[in-house]
Structure 1
Amino acid sequence: MHAMQYELTLPADYDMAVIRGRVARVGHLLDDWEGLGCKAYLMRERGVNGSPVNQYAPFYLWNTMEGMNRFLWGGGFQRLSDDFGRPSVRQWTGLSYEEGGAAGSPARSAVRLRQAVPEGAELAEVMAEAAREPERLAGEDGAVFAAVAVDTARWELVHFSLWAHEPSKAEGEVFEVLHVSAPGRERLPRGRQW
């Protein structure tokens, strides 16, 4: 599993209905994308759920590097870049993934928490502890799924979870889910990935 995300932070007075309309028009284009485990089309609105910004920030879990690269270099990402400029794309290596009890339910909210890996920490211990978090979150009421991944260039963990309702047991930034494309979600490897 490989995680990926880019963020488009928009002006404070930006009409977020434009983002909603865009996702309604093009969200289905990745519903059958080969190599994609799941793409959550995420949005935050300034002043809602504590968000200080208007932001469009899709989050991806990929089953294959080929699928991700085909998206980045084969046209999918180019449409976004043409419309909004080319954002920086963050990538993380998967550590753990778990399905929740609400796996068949539509996702309404997502939570993302980024954490620095402490300097001098025993990496095996930090990664093992992080890999247990998706299992805990997946056991909470309303969890669709939970995942954790690591960026070894920045030594940063990213915890990501989808929820059928407003999450109460996950810490981090809360996003509204506009659409989910999940053509290969059932093939995402469960549990710890080493």
Structure 2
Amino acid sequence: MHALQYEITLPADYDMDVIRRRVAGKGHLLDRWDGLGLKAYLVRERGVHGSPVNQYAPFYLWRTVAGMNAFLWGGGFQGVADDFGRPAARQWSGLAYEEGTAAGADARFAVRRLRPVPDGPALADVVAEVVAETGRLAREDGAVLAAAAVDTGRWQVVQFSLWEHDAPKAEGDLFQVLHLSAPGRPGLPRGRQW
């Protein structure tokens, strides 16, 4: 599993209905993308749920590198670059994935938490804690799924979870889910990723 996210921060007075219309019109285009586990079309609005910014920030979990590369280099990402400029696309190697207690529910909110991998403890201990936290999040009421991945260039962990309600039991930035494309979600490997 591989995670990918890009963030497009928009002006404070930006009409976020433009993004909603974009997702309503184009969100289905990845509903059958080969190699994609899921894409959550995420937004934050300034002043809503504590967000300091207006932002469009899709988050992906890829089953295959080939699928991710086909998206990045084969035309899928080009639409974003054409409309918004080319944002940095962060990538993380998968650590853990779990379906949640509300796996069959519609995902309405997402939480993304970024944190550094500390220098002191052994990497195996840090990762074991991250894997355990992913499982704990998935067992919370209202959790649709939970995942974790690591960027070894920055030594940073991302924990990502989807929720059916706006009171998730996870720390981090809260996003609204406008659409979920999940053609390969059943094929995402569960548990620890090694």
Same fold (TM over 0.5): yes
Q: Secondary structure at the match of 2:77?
A: helix
1:24: Cα distance to partner? 0.2
The equivalent of 1:26 in structure 2 is 26
Residues 23-79 of structure 1, C-alpha deviations (whole Å, 9 max, x = no match): 000000000000000000000000011100000000000000000000001111001
| One-letter code aligned to 2:177 | V
The equivalent of 2:98 in structure 1 is 98
The equivalent of 1:12 in structure 2 is 12
| One-letter code aligned to 1:28 | H
Give, in whole Å, the separation in 1 of the partners of 2:99 and 2:167.
Answer: 15
The equivalent of 1:190 in structure 2 is 190
The equivalent of 2:70 in structure 1 is 70
| One-letter code aligned to 2:67 | G
| One-letter code aligned to 1:63 | R
Q: Secondary structure at the match of 1:96?
A: strand
Q: Secondary structure at the match of 2:114?
A: strand
Residues 132-154 of structure 1, C-alpha deviations (whole Å, 9 max, x = no match): 11110111111100000000000
> Between the two proteins, what is the percent identity of the paired residues?
71
2:174 is aligned with 1:166: no
Give, in whole Å, the separation in 1 of the partners of 2:55 and 2:35.
Answer: 26
The equivalent of 1:55 in structure 2 is 55
Q: Which runs of structure 2 are paired with 1:112-123 in the superposition (5 Å)?
A: 112-123=112-123
Give TM-score, length-normalised by structure 1.
0.99
Give TM-score, length-normalised by structure 2.
0.99
1:101: Cα distance to partner? 1.5
1:167: Cα distance to partner? 3.1
Give, in whole Å, the separation in 2 of the partners of 1:133 and 1:42.
Answer: 22
Q: Secondary structure at the match of 1:76?
A: coil
1:108: Cα distance to partner? 0.3
| One-letter code aligned to 1:133 | E
1:166: Cα distance to partner? 1.2
1:121: Cα distance to partner? 2.4
| Aligned CA-pair RMSD | 0.6
Aligned length: 194
Q: Which moved more, 1:43-52 or 1:160-169?
A: 160-169
